[in-house]
Structure 1
Amino acid sequence: MRIQTGFEITYDCPAPVPMMLTLSVHPSRRGDLETPDWVRTDPPLDVRQYLDGFGNICSRVLAPAGRLTLSADFVIRDSGLVDDHAPDAPQIPVQDLPDDVLIFLLGSRYCETDRLSDMAWTLFQDTPTGWGRVQAIVDYVHNHIRFDYQHARPTKTAYEAHAEAVGVCRDYAHLAIAFCRCMNIPARYCTGYLGDIGVPTIGVMDFSAWFEVYLGDRWYAFDARNNRPRIGRVLIARGRDAVDVAIANTFGQANLAGFKVIAYDLPEAA
């Protein structure tokens, strides 16, 4: 499968402002790119890239005063297969987890395990361990939160998402991640492209949030908002929560003036 993918984001900046961007395809998917995913700027700017502590590609720019448009437009190949399904994947005891996985058991800015631990154990202690427990968490979060863009805000935490029972894909992911961590299941936040491939069109395209859990000897993708296997996830970044994978951190005033994301399947090349 070939997926046409990209974005166009416009800011109005009253004064020059440094920006840190997380908009490039994750290193694990770069071998699938048919065309480059370069971050373009209008006006042209120097773009310097580096790998952050989670292995994501970040870009640094100094935006001038005035209007700045960031964009990319590329084609990436995908297997066309739905998310992996492994109902027998076991939960690994904490003492046997790899060292680099342990950080994804800890509370973080948007995933307050300390505030949700008692609730998590009350809700999920009687569920089967491993895959079955994660699926029970996903089912609960999917049914508990009502999706509504009008209730999105950048400060909403997992605890608040549960209390308000409404939010967007990042809120579903944060709550599911927090519950998994409370139950000693490593979970990490993912952001990327997820077009309406193989499912009915569900609205205006945006970057998507899902999460991964460590079961057996590997990570598996779960999606509490959609709660169904999906085709064509294109990963941009992973981290503890949305703090680590924000598409843009601006160190000064930058007013969002335009936002467009695309991801749709193309015919196979002749």
Structure 2
Amino acid sequence: MLIRLGFEIAYRFVQPTPMMVMLDVHGSRSHDVVASLPLGTLPAVPLRQYRDGFGNTCTRLTAPAGLLMLTADAIVRDSGLPDRQQPEAMQVPVEALPDDTLLFLRGSRYCETDALMQYAWDRFGHVEAGWARVQAICDHVHGAIAFGYAHADATRGALRALEEGRGVCRDFAHAAIALCRCLNIPARYCTGYLGDIGVPPMDAPMDFSAWFEVWLDGDWYAFDARHNVPRIGRVLIARGRDAADVAISSTFGPNTLEHFRVWTDETADPVLSGEREAVRLALAG
């Protein structure tokens, strides 16, 4: 299966402003990229890339005063299979966990394990350790939080999401991650593309998506407390402890978001059109 994905994001700046963005397809999926118009800007500015401590591709730039447009477009090959399911996967005792998973047991900015420890053990301590326990957490979070784009709040963490009972996809992920960590299950935050492939299309603008991965039986498995069903066509951008590690953009000065469009669609065409350049020219005019 082929998926066409990309974005157009425009900011307006009052003065030259440094930025850092995470918008490239993750390196683990680079071999699946069939065609690509890589990250570009209008007006053109120098871009410099590096890898952060989680292995994510980050791009540094300085936005000029005025309007800056960020765009990319790609076609990615995907298996077309839903998220991998392994109901027999068991939880690994802490003393047997690989060293590099221990970071994902600790609390983080949006995953307040200290505040949710008793909550987690009271509700899930009796559930069989392993896949069943993670699924029970997803079921609980899915039912406890109402999704709505109007509920977005960059200051809300897992505790508030569960207390308020509302949020966006990142809040579902943060709540489930925090509860997993409380129960000694390594869990990490993921952001990327997830289109309406294999499901009825949503009557809402496309956006980037958030889900999480847990370490069970020697491997990482994807879970999604917002949708709470296996999905087709996840394309990873970045992983981290929580959303603070994988913000799609970090701007070091005042700005206004003026345009935001994301696309993630199944396609039969392995060739990119000139649509992105047409958009750039229209904005430039």
What TM-score do you get using the length of structure 2 for normalisation?
0.93
Q: Counterpart of 1:129 in 2: which secondary structure?
A: coil
1-structure distance, mates of 2:269, 2:259: 31
Between the aligned partners of 2:126 and 2:90, the Cα distance in structure 1 is 16
Aligned to 1:238: 239
Alignment of 1:127-206 (within 5 A): 127-202=127-202, 203-206=204-207
State the Cα deviation string for residues 131-173 of structure 1 (Å, max 9, x = none): 0000000000000000011111111100000010000000000
| Cα deviation 1:100-149 (Å, max 9, x = unaligned) | 00000000000000000000000101111100000000000000000011
Q: Secondary structure at the match of 2:38?
A: coil
Q: Residues of 1 paired with 2:46 and 2:192: CA distance?
A: 24
Moved over 4 A (4+): none
Residue of structure 2 in register with 1:253 after alignment? 254
Report the counterpart of residue 94 of structure 1 in structure 2: 94
Once residues 183 and 80 of structure 1 are traced to their aligned partners in structure 2, the CA distance between those partners, rounded to angstroms, is 32
- The residue number in structure 1 matching 2:114 is 114
Q: Tell me which residue corresponds to 2:105.
A: 105
The AA in structure 1 aligned to 2:208 is F
Say whether the 8 Å CA contact 2:92–2:216 is kept in structure 1: yes
Q: How many residues get paired?
A: 270
Distance 1:17 1:163 in 2: 37
Corresponding residue of 2:275: none
CA separation in 2, counterparts of 1:220 and 1:211? 8
Q: What residue is the counterpart of 2:228 in the other structure?
A: 227
What is the SS of the residue equivalent to 1:161? helix
Amino acid at match of 1:74: A
Distance 1:200 1:225 in 2: 16
Instruction: Provide the C-alpha distance between the structure 2 equivalents of 1:254 and 1:216, rounded to a whole number of angstroms.
Output: 45
TM-score scaled by length of structure 1: 0.99
Conservation of the 8 A alpha-carbon contact between 2:34 and 2:270: no
Checking the alignment, whether the CA contact within 8 Å between 1:25 and 1:37 is kept in structure 2 is no
Q: In the superposition, relative to structure 1, how do residues 192 and 167 fare at CA in structure 2: closer, same or farther (>3 Å)?
A: same
Structure 2 counterpart of 1:63: 63
Mind listing any 5+ residue stretches in structure 2 that lack a counterpart? 272-285
> Secondary structure of 2:34's match?
coil
Partner of 1:27: 27
Give me the whole-angstrom Cα distance separating, in 2, the residues matched to 1:250 and 1:224. Answer: 29
**What is the rounded CA distance, in whole Å, between the counterparts of 2:104 and 2:226 in structure 1?**
20
Q: How many Å apart are 1:92 and its aligned residue?
A: 0.2
Residue identity in the other structure for 1:39: L
Equivalent position SS for 2:35: coil
Separation in structure 1 between the aligned mates of residue 147 and residue 256 of structure 2, nearest angstrom: 25
| CA apart distance, 1:35 | 1.3
Percent identity over the alignment is: 59
- SS of aligned partner of 1:163: helix
Whether the 8 Å CA contact 2:194–2:234 is kept in 1: the answer is yes
1:269, distance to aligned residue in structure 2 (A): 5.0
Deviation at 1:260, TM superposition (A): 0.4
Between 1:187-196 and 1:250-259, the stretch displaced more is 250-259
Alignment of 1:216 with 2:217, yes or no, is yes
Unaligned stretches of 5+ residues in structure 1: none
Measure, in 1, the Cα distance between the counterparts of 2:270 and 2:263: 19
Instruction: Please name the residue that 1:46 is paired with.
Output: 46
TM-fit CA distance, 1:36: 2.4
For 2:148, the aligned partner's letter is D
The 1:35/1:269 distance shift into structure 2, 3 A limit, reads closer
Write the distance in 1 (CA, Å) between the matches of 2:255 and 2:138: 35
CA distance in 1 between counterparts of 2:176 and 2:62 reads 36
Counterpart of 1:83 in structure 2: which amino acid?
D
Residues 190 and 209, structure 1, Cα contact 8 Å, conserved in 2: yes
